[in-house]
Amino acid sequence: MGKNKEKILVVCHDAGGSEVISAYVRKNARKKRFFCLVSGPGIKVFKRKGLKKFLIPNNKTPKGFLRSLKPDLVLAGFSASMGQLPFIRAAKAEKTKSAIYIDHWTDYRRGIGYPEENWRENMPDEFWAGDADGLRIAKKLFPGRKIKFVKNLYFIERKKEYNQIRKKLKKPEKTLVFMSEPYTAVTSFSGEPFYGLNEYRVLDKLLAYLSAKKFRNKVVICNHPSEARSKFDALISRYAGKLKISKQSDSVLKDIANAQVVVGMMGMILAISVICGKKTVSFIPHKGINCMLPDKRIIRIHDVRKLGEIIKL
């Protein structure tokens, strides 16, 4: 009976796409047969969710995987490395259906090679969007292409986990949590620095302001899954004695639960924070560059002094 189930080859690398697709895999594990080719930060995501048994070794070419597994569908996430694109092209060559699951709200076309020559050859048969905003944006950017709504189960997972953690907390610490994004190390899909943002400068401006205002609560710095925990050690030591700074705990959701306010730039974690009901701020110290996350509950500021008004410093 299991042999008649739809067979899906999953290709993931980045944490964001891996979170969304792994949630889909976990939900449908009994209904479909999954073969998950996962690399980079995605490996940790799949293992954390108990999906290790679905992981397969990367020991073939894209065409080799398609010819040996004969999947009904190649399902990929977006990746800054664009490692998913050879599998999309191979699927076309082997006449296998392909889909890319959209996990964010920006750079959709760059994620398939735009504006490089022949970028349209990287187009999958269909795009999956997990929310109304993603669906609307994809339809606008890819007219005539099949855009399919497949509910983003990752948001549901995170909210459920958050509620469980929140119930166990005796009393939130009312910390200020900074959510980092690796804009310095990772360029945009076009190869240029992503909007010129620099996470070190953003954090430095934030810490300098809090220090000047004699902020007494704890500041928690949460790294992006692709970043080393030691990344901001130099900045942390510079403000030692001026602020109470700590690194993230073993659970980013626990850090969010303890927060008075969550501050970041425009990463997916801000969407998670606001879904969990936290006061959430996008701080981008560049006039004219706006947070592209669609949730209007996220407070957008360019001047760090506005943060003082928000948390009443």
Structural domains of the chain, with CATH = 2-151 (3.40.50.2000), 158-311 (3.40.50.2000)
Is the pLDDT at 191 greater than 60? The verdict is no
Question: pLDDT-based confidence at 192, cuts 50/70/90?
Answer: very low
Q: What is the mean pLDDT of residues 184-213?
A: 73
Question: pLDDT-based confidence at 109, cuts 50/70/90?
Answer: confident
pLDDT for 289: 79
d(CA 285, CA 17): 27
pLDDT tens digits for range 149-175: 999 999 999 999 999 999 999 888 999
pLDDT tens digits for range 25-48: 999 999 999 999 999 999 999 999
Between CA 299 and CA 257, with CA 297 as vertex, the angle to 5 degrees is 85
Q: Which of 190, 222, 191 is nearest to 206 (CA)?
A: 222
Q: At what angle do helices 41-48 and 15-28 cross, to 10 degrees?
A: 30
Q: What is the mean pLDDT of residues 200-216?
A: 95
* Beta carbons of 73 and 98 less than 8 angstroms apart: yes
Q: What is the DSSP letter of 139?
A: H
Strands 280-283 and 299-301, by their bridges, are parallel
Question: pLDDT-based confidence at 184, cuts 50/70/90?
Answer: low
pLDDT for 196: 59
Between CA 257 and CA 261, with CA 260 as vertex, the angle to 5 degrees is 100
Q: Is 95 exposed, middle or buried (0-12, 13-18, 19+ CB in 10 A)?
A: exposed
* Beta carbons of 268 and 14 less than 8 angstroms apart: no
Q: Is the peptide bond before 172 cis (omega within 30 degrees of 0)?
A: no
Question: pLDDT-based confidence at 186, cuts 50/70/90?
Answer: very low
Question: pLDDT-based confidence at 2, cuts 50/70/90?
Answer: low
